Amino acid sequence: MKQVSLLGATGSIGIQTLDVLRLHPDQFSLYAMGFGRNVEKALPLIREFEPSMIVVQDEETKRKLEKEVAHPQILCGGEGLIEASVAEPVDVVVNAVMGSIGLPATLKAIQSKKQIAIANKETLVTAGHLVMEEAKKHDVNLLPVDSEHSAIFQALNGEQRRDINKLIITASGGSFRDQTREELAGVTVDDALNHPNWKMGAKITIDSASMMNKGLEVIEAHWLFDVPYDQIHVILHRESVIHSMVEYVDRNVIAQLGTPDMKVPIQYALTYPERKELPITKNLNLEEIATLNFQKMDMDRFPCLRMAFEAGRAGGSMPTVLNAANEEAVQQFLEGKISFLDIEKYIEQALENHDRIHNPDLSTIISIDKETRERVRFQIN
Ligand SMILES: NC(=O)C1=CN([C@@H]2O[C@H](COP(=O)(O)OP(=O)(O)OC[C@H]3O[C@@H](n4cnc5c(N)ncnc54)[C@H](OP(=O)(O)O)[C@@H]3O)[C@@H](O)[C@H]2O)C=CC1
Ligand SMILES: CC(=O)[C@@H](O)[C@H](O)COP(=O)(O)O
Ligand SMILES: [Mn+2]
Protein backbone atom coordinates (compact mmCIF):
# COMPACT_ATOMS: atom_id res chain seq x y z
CA MET A 1 0.00 0.00 0.00
CA LYS A 2 1.43 3.40 -1.02
CA GLN A 3 0.81 6.31 1.34
CA VAL A 4 0.01 9.45 -0.63
CA SER A 5 0.45 13.07 0.37
CA LEU A 6 -1.74 15.22 -1.86
CA LEU A 7 -0.97 18.95 -1.89
CA GLY A 8 -3.79 20.92 -3.53
CA ALA A 9 -6.45 18.29 -2.83
CA THR A 10 -9.44 20.60 -3.43
CA GLY A 11 -8.24 21.78 -6.85
CA SER A 12 -8.87 20.43 -10.32
CA ILE A 13 -5.88 18.08 -10.25
CA GLY A 14 -6.43 17.28 -6.58
CA ILE A 15 -10.04 16.17 -7.06
CA GLN A 16 -9.09 14.05 -10.09
CA THR A 17 -6.23 12.50 -8.13
CA LEU A 18 -8.76 11.45 -5.50
CA ASP A 19 -10.92 9.96 -8.28
CA VAL A 20 -7.93 7.82 -9.23
CA LEU A 21 -7.19 6.85 -5.60
CA ARG A 22 -10.82 5.73 -5.19
CA LEU A 23 -10.29 3.25 -8.03
CA HIS A 24 -7.38 1.56 -6.29
CA PRO A 25 -8.13 1.39 -2.55
CA ASP A 26 -5.90 -1.67 -2.24
CA GLN A 27 -2.89 0.23 -3.57
CA PHE A 28 -3.15 3.82 -2.36
CA SER A 29 -4.13 5.41 0.89
CA LEU A 30 -4.35 9.16 1.48
CA TYR A 31 -1.97 9.90 4.36
CA ALA A 32 -1.95 13.71 4.07
CA MET A 33 -3.95 16.32 2.24
CA GLY A 34 -3.26 20.03 1.80
CA PHE A 35 -5.48 22.79 0.52
CA GLY A 36 -5.86 26.55 0.76
CA ARG A 37 -8.97 27.99 2.38
CA ASN A 38 -11.81 26.02 0.80
CA VAL A 39 -13.08 24.25 3.92
CA GLU A 40 -16.48 23.50 2.35
CA LYS A 41 -14.90 21.54 -0.46
CA ALA A 42 -12.38 19.85 1.82
CA LEU A 43 -14.80 18.63 4.51
CA PRO A 44 -16.45 15.76 2.61
CA LEU A 45 -13.00 14.68 1.36
CA ILE A 46 -11.62 14.65 4.90
CA ARG A 47 -14.61 12.60 6.07
CA GLU A 48 -14.25 10.15 3.20
CA PHE A 49 -10.46 9.66 3.10
CA GLU A 50 -9.68 10.26 6.80
CA PRO A 51 -6.11 11.51 6.22
CA SER A 52 -3.73 11.40 9.21
CA MET A 53 -2.49 14.89 8.42
CA ILE A 54 -4.25 17.99 7.07
CA VAL A 55 -2.57 21.18 5.93
CA VAL A 56 -4.40 24.46 5.38
CA GLN A 57 -3.18 27.83 4.16
CA ASP A 58 -3.49 29.85 7.40
CA GLU A 59 -4.49 29.93 11.08
CA GLU A 60 -7.92 31.37 10.32
CA THR A 61 -8.75 28.42 8.05
CA LYS A 62 -7.39 26.05 10.68
CA ARG A 63 -9.78 27.51 13.28
CA LYS A 64 -12.68 27.27 10.82
CA LEU A 65 -11.86 23.64 10.09
CA GLU A 66 -11.44 22.75 13.76
CA LYS A 67 -15.03 23.85 14.37
CA GLU A 68 -16.16 21.21 11.86
CA VAL A 69 -13.86 18.26 12.56
CA ALA A 70 -11.94 17.07 15.59
CA HIS A 71 -8.61 16.17 14.01
CA PRO A 72 -5.32 15.72 15.89
CA GLN A 73 -3.02 17.03 13.16
CA ILE A 74 -4.02 20.17 11.31
CA LEU A 75 -0.99 22.14 10.15
CA CYS A 76 -0.64 25.52 8.48
CA GLY A 77 1.10 27.35 5.65
CA GLY A 78 4.34 26.55 3.84
CA GLU A 79 5.79 24.75 6.87
CA GLY A 80 2.72 22.53 6.93
CA LEU A 81 3.13 21.65 3.24
CA ILE A 82 6.74 20.69 3.98
CA GLU A 83 5.66 18.50 6.93
CA ALA A 84 3.15 16.75 4.70
CA SER A 85 5.86 16.15 2.09
CA VAL A 86 8.51 14.70 4.37
CA ALA A 87 6.38 12.76 6.90
CA GLU A 88 7.96 9.36 7.43
CA PRO A 89 4.99 7.18 6.30
CA VAL A 90 4.59 9.09 3.00
CA ASP A 91 5.72 7.21 -0.13
CA VAL A 92 4.49 9.54 -2.85
CA VAL A 93 3.87 13.28 -2.90
CA VAL A 94 1.43 14.61 -5.49
CA ASN A 95 2.21 18.30 -5.78
CA ALA A 96 -0.94 19.88 -7.23
CA VAL A 97 -0.92 23.27 -5.57
CA MET A 98 -1.12 26.26 -7.83
CA GLY A 99 1.91 28.52 -8.03
CA SER A 100 5.48 28.89 -6.81
CA ILE A 101 4.22 28.35 -3.25
CA GLY A 102 4.84 24.66 -4.07
CA LEU A 103 8.60 25.04 -4.45
CA PRO A 104 9.92 24.54 -0.87
CA ALA A 105 7.74 21.44 -0.35
CA THR A 106 9.00 19.95 -3.65
CA LEU A 107 12.62 20.49 -2.64
CA LYS A 108 12.10 18.96 0.81
CA ALA A 109 10.22 15.98 -0.65
CA ILE A 110 13.15 15.35 -2.99
CA GLN A 111 15.62 15.62 -0.12
CA SER A 112 13.53 13.04 1.75
CA LYS A 113 13.70 10.79 -1.32
CA LYS A 114 9.93 10.65 -1.78
CA GLN A 115 8.45 9.64 -5.11
CA ILE A 116 7.05 12.85 -6.62
CA ALA A 117 4.20 13.27 -9.06
CA ILE A 118 4.53 16.87 -10.16
CA ALA A 119 1.62 18.87 -11.54
CA ASN A 120 2.82 22.13 -10.02
CA LYS A 121 4.70 23.44 -13.08
CA GLU A 122 5.43 26.84 -11.51
CA THR A 123 7.92 25.06 -9.21
CA LEU A 124 9.98 23.96 -12.20
CA VAL A 125 9.68 27.30 -13.96
CA THR A 126 10.74 29.40 -11.01
CA ALA A 127 13.63 27.20 -9.86
CA GLY A 128 14.14 24.34 -12.31
CA HIS A 129 17.90 24.36 -11.79
CA LEU A 130 17.54 23.85 -8.02
CA VAL A 131 14.84 21.20 -8.33
CA MET A 132 16.75 19.15 -10.90
CA GLU A 133 20.03 19.50 -9.04
CA GLU A 134 18.40 18.10 -5.90
CA ALA A 135 16.62 15.37 -7.86
CA LYS A 136 19.94 14.27 -9.36
CA LYS A 137 21.74 14.45 -6.03
CA HIS A 138 19.11 12.34 -4.25
CA ASP A 139 18.40 10.08 -7.22
CA VAL A 140 14.71 11.00 -7.29
CA ASN A 141 12.65 10.65 -10.45
CA LEU A 142 10.12 13.46 -10.97
CA LEU A 143 7.05 11.90 -12.55
CA PRO A 144 5.24 14.45 -14.71
CA VAL A 145 1.49 14.94 -14.34
CA ASP A 146 1.17 17.77 -16.87
CA SER A 147 -0.37 16.09 -19.93
CA GLU A 148 2.31 17.22 -22.42
CA HIS A 149 5.14 16.13 -20.14
CA SER A 150 3.51 12.82 -19.39
CA ALA A 151 3.29 12.34 -23.18
CA ILE A 152 6.97 13.19 -23.67
CA PHE A 153 7.96 11.02 -20.70
CA GLN A 154 6.16 8.08 -22.32
CA ALA A 155 7.58 8.84 -25.78
CA LEU A 156 11.07 8.82 -24.25
CA ASN A 157 10.57 5.48 -22.57
CA GLY A 158 13.56 3.22 -23.32
CA GLU A 159 15.19 5.78 -25.64
CA GLN A 160 18.57 7.50 -25.43
CA ARG A 161 18.49 11.22 -24.68
CA ARG A 162 21.26 11.81 -27.21
CA ASP A 163 18.94 10.53 -29.97
CA ILE A 164 16.37 13.29 -29.44
CA ASN A 165 16.10 15.71 -32.33
CA LYS A 166 13.32 17.79 -30.80
CA LEU A 167 10.39 17.79 -28.43
CA ILE A 168 7.13 18.86 -30.06
CA ILE A 169 4.72 20.27 -27.50
CA THR A 170 1.11 20.65 -28.60
CA ALA A 171 -1.07 23.63 -27.63
CA SER A 172 -4.84 23.76 -27.95
CA GLY A 173 -4.72 27.52 -28.45
CA GLY A 174 -6.92 28.16 -25.42
CA SER A 175 -10.11 30.18 -25.15
CA PHE A 176 -9.07 32.85 -27.66
CA ARG A 177 -7.45 30.77 -30.37
CA ASP A 178 -9.90 32.07 -32.98
CA GLN A 179 -9.69 35.72 -31.94
CA THR A 180 -7.36 38.32 -33.42
CA ARG A 181 -5.20 40.44 -31.11
CA GLU A 182 -7.52 43.38 -31.78
CA GLU A 183 -10.48 41.31 -30.58
CA LEU A 184 -8.69 40.53 -27.33
CA ALA A 185 -9.04 44.13 -26.13
CA GLY A 186 -12.57 43.67 -24.83
CA VAL A 187 -12.57 40.07 -23.56
CA THR A 188 -13.94 39.28 -20.10
CA VAL A 189 -12.82 36.94 -17.33
CA ASP A 190 -15.69 34.58 -18.18
CA ASP A 191 -14.63 34.52 -21.84
CA ALA A 192 -11.07 33.66 -20.82
CA LEU A 193 -12.22 30.90 -18.46
CA ASN A 194 -14.06 29.13 -21.26
CA HIS A 195 -11.38 26.65 -22.36
CA PRO A 196 -12.40 24.61 -25.43
CA ASN A 197 -10.97 21.23 -24.34
CA TRP A 198 -10.05 21.09 -20.65
CA LYS A 199 -11.80 21.90 -17.39
CA MET A 200 -9.04 23.21 -15.14
CA GLY A 201 -8.37 25.65 -12.30
CA ALA A 202 -8.81 29.36 -13.05
CA LYS A 203 -5.14 30.34 -13.18
CA ILE A 204 -4.02 27.68 -15.66
CA THR A 205 -7.09 28.35 -17.81
CA ILE A 206 -6.10 32.01 -18.12
CA ASP A 207 -2.52 30.88 -18.85
CA SER A 208 -3.85 28.71 -21.67
CA ALA A 209 -5.75 31.66 -23.10
CA SER A 210 -2.65 33.88 -23.05
CA MET A 211 -0.40 31.00 -24.25
CA MET A 212 1.70 31.50 -21.11
CA ASN A 213 0.74 27.96 -20.14
CA LYS A 214 2.67 26.72 -23.17
CA GLY A 215 5.56 29.03 -22.28
CA LEU A 216 5.67 27.60 -18.76
CA GLU A 217 5.50 24.10 -20.26
CA VAL A 218 8.48 24.81 -22.53
CA ILE A 219 10.55 25.74 -19.47
CA GLU A 220 9.13 22.76 -17.56
CA ALA A 221 10.15 20.44 -20.43
CA HIS A 222 13.62 21.97 -20.63
CA TRP A 223 14.26 21.06 -16.98
CA LEU A 224 12.42 17.73 -16.79
CA PHE A 225 14.02 16.28 -19.91
CA ASP A 226 17.29 18.22 -20.04
CA VAL A 227 16.66 19.40 -23.60
CA PRO A 228 17.94 22.79 -24.87
CA TYR A 229 15.39 25.43 -25.89
CA ASP A 230 16.44 25.25 -29.55
CA GLN A 231 15.19 21.67 -29.56
CA ILE A 232 11.78 22.46 -28.10
CA HIS A 233 9.06 23.24 -30.62
CA VAL A 234 5.45 24.26 -29.99
CA ILE A 235 2.67 23.51 -32.43
CA LEU A 236 -1.01 24.47 -32.38
CA HIS A 237 -3.24 21.41 -32.26
CA ARG A 238 -6.88 22.28 -31.63
CA GLU A 239 -8.14 18.85 -30.61
CA SER A 240 -5.77 18.13 -27.67
CA VAL A 241 -5.62 14.50 -28.77
CA ILE A 242 -1.90 14.29 -29.41
CA HIS A 243 -0.56 15.44 -26.07
CA SER A 244 3.01 15.90 -27.36
CA MET A 245 5.69 14.16 -29.40
CA VAL A 246 9.37 13.42 -29.59
CA GLU A 247 11.22 13.51 -32.89
CA TYR A 248 14.38 11.41 -32.98
CA VAL A 249 17.50 11.90 -35.09
CA ASP A 250 16.41 9.11 -37.43
CA ARG A 251 13.16 11.08 -38.17
CA ASN A 252 10.99 8.69 -36.20
CA VAL A 253 8.38 10.65 -34.30
CA ILE A 254 6.76 9.09 -31.24
CA ALA A 255 3.51 10.68 -30.12
CA GLN A 256 1.21 9.94 -27.21
CA LEU A 257 -2.53 10.21 -27.85
CA GLY A 258 -5.52 10.00 -25.57
CA THR A 259 -8.84 11.48 -24.56
CA PRO A 260 -8.20 14.89 -23.00
CA ASP A 261 -8.70 13.80 -19.39
CA MET A 262 -6.15 14.55 -16.68
CA LYS A 263 -6.97 11.35 -14.82
CA VAL A 264 -4.92 9.55 -17.48
CA PRO A 265 -1.55 11.26 -16.77
CA ILE A 266 -2.34 11.46 -13.04
CA GLN A 267 -2.83 7.71 -12.81
CA TYR A 268 0.24 7.00 -14.94
CA ALA A 269 2.39 9.11 -12.60
CA LEU A 270 0.99 7.21 -9.62
CA THR A 271 1.29 3.69 -11.01
CA TYR A 272 4.47 4.10 -13.12
CA PRO A 273 6.05 1.90 -14.38
CA GLU A 274 2.88 -0.17 -14.26
CA ARG A 275 -0.36 0.56 -16.10
CA LYS A 276 -3.77 0.03 -14.52
CA GLU A 277 -7.33 0.01 -15.82
CA LEU A 278 -8.96 3.45 -15.87
CA PRO A 279 -12.66 2.75 -16.49
CA ILE A 280 -13.75 6.26 -15.47
CA THR A 281 -12.16 7.76 -18.60
CA LYS A 282 -13.62 7.47 -22.11
CA ASN A 283 -11.70 5.60 -24.79
CA LEU A 284 -10.18 7.71 -27.52
CA ASN A 285 -12.56 7.50 -30.47
CA LEU A 286 -10.61 8.60 -33.56
CA GLU A 287 -13.50 7.82 -35.89
CA GLU A 288 -15.63 10.32 -34.02
CA ILE A 289 -12.84 12.92 -33.97
CA ALA A 290 -12.11 12.23 -37.66
CA THR A 291 -9.63 15.08 -38.23
CA LEU A 292 -6.56 16.28 -36.39
CA ASN A 293 -5.39 19.82 -37.18
CA PHE A 294 -1.96 21.37 -36.84
CA GLN A 295 -0.87 24.97 -37.28
CA LYS A 296 2.37 26.90 -36.98
CA MET A 297 2.61 28.91 -33.77
CA ASP A 298 2.58 32.66 -34.32
CA MET A 299 4.89 34.33 -31.77
CA ASP A 300 3.49 37.81 -32.56
CA ARG A 301 -0.04 36.63 -31.86
CA PHE A 302 1.10 34.99 -28.61
CA PRO A 303 3.80 37.21 -27.05
CA CYS A 304 3.65 35.33 -23.74
CA LEU A 305 5.11 32.28 -25.47
CA ARG A 306 7.87 34.43 -26.98
CA MET A 307 8.67 35.94 -23.56
CA ALA A 308 8.82 32.51 -21.95
CA PHE A 309 11.29 31.25 -24.56
CA GLU A 310 13.37 34.40 -24.04
CA ALA A 311 13.30 34.12 -20.24
CA GLY A 312 14.13 30.42 -20.42
CA ARG A 313 17.06 31.01 -22.75
CA ALA A 314 18.33 33.91 -20.61
CA GLY A 315 18.10 31.62 -17.57
CA GLY A 316 19.24 32.62 -14.08
CA SER A 317 16.51 34.59 -12.33
CA MET A 318 14.57 35.52 -15.49
CA PRO A 319 12.12 32.57 -15.38
CA THR A 320 11.44 33.41 -11.71
CA VAL A 321 10.44 36.93 -12.73
CA LEU A 322 8.38 35.65 -15.66
CA ASN A 323 6.48 33.28 -13.40
CA ALA A 324 5.95 35.69 -10.49
CA ALA A 325 4.80 38.55 -12.76
CA ASN A 326 2.45 36.17 -14.53
CA GLU A 327 0.99 34.76 -11.30
CA GLU A 328 0.35 38.26 -9.97
CA ALA A 329 -1.02 39.68 -13.24
CA VAL A 330 -3.36 36.72 -13.73
CA GLN A 331 -4.66 37.13 -10.17
CA GLN A 332 -5.31 40.83 -10.84
CA PHE A 333 -7.09 39.95 -14.08
CA LEU A 334 -9.26 37.38 -12.28
CA GLU A 335 -10.14 40.05 -9.71
CA GLY A 336 -11.22 42.36 -12.54
CA LYS A 337 -8.49 44.94 -11.87
CA ILE A 338 -6.69 44.74 -15.22
CA SER A 339 -7.61 43.75 -18.76
CA PHE A 340 -6.58 40.51 -20.44
CA LEU A 341 -3.99 42.26 -22.62
CA ASP A 342 -2.54 43.97 -19.53
CA ILE A 343 -1.29 40.58 -18.33
CA GLU A 344 1.42 40.42 -21.00
CA LYS A 345 2.21 44.12 -20.55
CA TYR A 346 3.03 43.71 -16.85
CA ILE A 347 5.10 40.60 -17.50
CA GLU A 348 7.10 42.39 -20.20
CA GLN A 349 7.74 45.35 -17.88
CA ALA A 350 8.83 43.07 -15.03
CA LEU A 351 11.31 41.27 -17.29
CA GLU A 352 12.67 44.53 -18.72
CA ASN A 353 13.20 46.03 -15.26
CA HIS A 354 14.99 43.03 -13.79
CA ASP A 355 18.77 42.62 -13.68
CA ARG A 356 19.36 38.95 -14.23
CA ILE A 357 21.02 37.04 -11.41
CA HIS A 358 23.07 34.02 -12.37
CA ASN A 359 22.30 30.72 -10.59
CA PRO A 360 20.03 32.13 -7.83
CA ASP A 361 19.74 30.11 -4.62
CA LEU A 362 16.43 29.37 -2.88
CA SER A 363 16.36 32.47 -0.69
CA THR A 364 17.19 34.69 -3.69
CA ILE A 365 14.41 33.08 -5.70
CA ILE A 366 11.92 33.59 -2.87
CA SER A 367 12.84 37.28 -2.55
CA ILE A 368 12.78 37.90 -6.33
CA ASP A 369 9.38 36.20 -6.50
CA LYS A 370 8.06 38.42 -3.68
CA GLU A 371 9.57 41.65 -5.06
CA THR A 372 8.26 40.98 -8.57
CA ARG A 373 4.73 40.42 -7.30
CA GLU A 374 4.91 43.57 -5.17
CA ARG A 375 6.16 45.62 -8.11
CA VAL A 376 3.35 44.39 -10.38
CA ARG A 377 0.80 45.15 -7.65
CA PHE A 378 2.30 48.61 -7.09
CA GLN A 379 2.09 49.43 -10.81
CA ILE A 380 -1.54 48.36 -10.95
CA ASN A 381 -2.79 50.15 -7.82
N1 LIG B 1 -5.99 21.54 -13.85
C2 LIG B 1 -5.33 20.88 -14.79
O3 LIG B 1 -5.94 20.18 -15.61
C4 LIG B 1 -3.85 20.99 -14.86
C5 LIG B 1 -3.12 21.64 -13.89
N6 LIG B 1 -1.75 21.66 -13.93
C7 LIG B 1 -1.02 22.35 -12.87
O8 LIG B 1 -1.39 21.78 -11.62
C9 LIG B 1 -1.37 22.79 -10.61
C10 LIG B 1 -2.75 22.86 -9.97
O11 LIG B 1 -3.67 23.28 -10.95
P12 LIG B 1 -5.24 23.22 -10.71
O13 LIG B 1 -5.59 21.96 -10.01
O14 LIG B 1 -5.87 23.54 -11.99
O15 LIG B 1 -5.44 24.44 -9.71
P16 LIG B 1 -6.68 24.78 -8.79
O17 LIG B 1 -6.70 26.25 -8.63
O18 LIG B 1 -7.89 24.09 -9.25
O19 LIG B 1 -6.26 24.13 -7.39
C20 LIG B 1 -5.21 24.62 -6.63
C21 LIG B 1 -5.11 23.85 -5.33
O22 LIG B 1 -4.06 24.44 -4.56
C23 LIG B 1 -4.59 24.84 -3.30
N24 LIG B 1 -3.86 26.00 -2.83
C25 LIG B 1 -3.84 27.23 -3.39
N26 LIG B 1 -3.05 28.05 -2.66
C27 LIG B 1 -2.59 27.32 -1.63
C28 LIG B 1 -1.75 27.58 -0.52
N29 LIG B 1 -1.22 28.80 -0.34
N30 LIG B 1 -1.47 26.59 0.33
C31 LIG B 1 -2.00 25.36 0.16
N32 LIG B 1 -2.79 25.03 -0.86
C33 LIG B 1 -3.09 26.00 -1.74
C34 LIG B 1 -6.06 25.13 -3.55
O35 LIG B 1 -6.80 25.12 -2.36
P36 LIG B 1 -8.23 25.89 -2.26
O37 LIG B 1 -9.19 25.09 -3.09
O38 LIG B 1 -8.55 25.83 -0.83
O39 LIG B 1 -8.02 27.26 -2.79
C40 LIG B 1 -6.37 23.94 -4.47
O41 LIG B 1 -6.49 22.78 -3.71
C42 LIG B 1 -0.95 24.09 -11.30
O43 LIG B 1 0.42 24.26 -11.16
C44 LIG B 1 -1.31 23.84 -12.76
O45 LIG B 1 -0.52 24.56 -13.65
C46 LIG B 1 -1.07 21.05 -14.94
C47 LIG B 1 -1.73 20.42 -15.94
C48 LIG B 1 -3.17 20.35 -16.00
C1 LIG C 1 -4.31 19.55 -19.36
C2 LIG C 1 -3.01 20.21 -19.43
O3 LIG C 1 -1.97 19.61 -19.38
C4 LIG C 1 -3.02 21.67 -19.59
O5 LIG C 1 -1.77 22.23 -19.26
C6 LIG C 1 -3.35 21.86 -21.01
O7 LIG C 1 -2.18 21.65 -21.73
C8 LIG C 1 -3.94 23.17 -21.29
O9 LIG C 1 -4.17 23.25 -22.65
P10 LIG C 1 -3.44 24.31 -23.60
O11 LIG C 1 -2.47 25.11 -22.79
O12 LIG C 1 -2.80 23.49 -24.65
O13 LIG C 1 -4.60 25.13 -24.06
MN1 LIG D 1 -0.35 20.93 -19.93
ipTM confidence score: 0.99
| pLDDT mean across residues, the chain | 97
Q: What is the DSSP pairing of strand 253-257 with strand 242-248?
A: antiparallel
What is the domain count for the chain?
A: 3
Task: Provide the pLDDT for residue 125.
Answer: 98
- The verdict on the CB of residue 8 being under 6 Å from ligand 1 is yes
Locate the ligand 2 atom nearest the alpha carbon of residue 209 and give its number. 13
Note whether 133 and 153 are same-domain residues. Answer: no
Note whether 259 and 350 are same-domain residues. Answer: no
Locate the ligand 1 atom nearest the alpha carbon of residue 36 and give its number. 38
- The verdict on the CB of residue 78 being under 6 Å from ligand 1 is no
308: in domain: no
Note whether 319 and 380 are same-domain residues. Answer: yes
Distance 212 CA to ligand 2 centre (A): 10
Is residue 367 part of an annotated ligand binding site? Answer: no
Categorize the per-residue pLDDT at 366 as very low, low, confident or very high, splitting at 50, 70 and 90: very high
CB-neighbour burial class of residue 248 (10 A; exposed 0-12, middle 13-18, buried 19+): middle
Q: Please, are residues 53 and 6 in contact by the beta-carbon 8 Å criterion?
A: no
- What strand order describes the sheet that includes 232-236? 253-257, 242-248, 164-171, 232-236, 295-296
Q: Which of 239, 269, 300 is the last residue of a domain?
A: 300
Note whether 103 and 79 are same-domain residues. Answer: yes
Distance 204 CA to ligand 1 centre (A): 9
Is residue 165 part of an annotated ligand binding site? Answer: no
310: in domain: no
Minimal-distance CA residue to ligand 1 atom 36: 36
Note whether 10 and 105 are same-domain residues. Answer: yes
Give the pLDDT confidence of 245-295 residue by residue, as tens digits. Answer: 999 999 999 999 999 999 999 999 999 999 999 999 999 999 999 999 999
306: in domain: no
Q: Output the CA torsion 37→41→47→49 (10° steps).
A: -90
Q: Please, are residues 195 and 174 in contact by the beta-carbon 8 Å criterion?
A: yes
Task: Provide the pLDDT for residue 52.
Answer: 98
What is the model's pTM?
A: 0.98
Locate the ligand 2 atom nearest the alpha carbon of residue 205 and give its number. 8
Task: Provide the pLDDT for residue 169.
Answer: 98
Give the pLDDT confidence of 226-235 residue by residue, as tens digits. Answer: 999 999 999 9
Task: Provide the pLDDT for residue 283.
Answer: 97
Q: Output the CA torsion 360→366→369→375 (10° steps).
A: -110
**Segments forming the whole domain that contains residue 95:** 2-140
Distance (Å, whole) CA 355 – CA 239: 40
Note whether 115 and 158 are same-domain residues. Answer: no
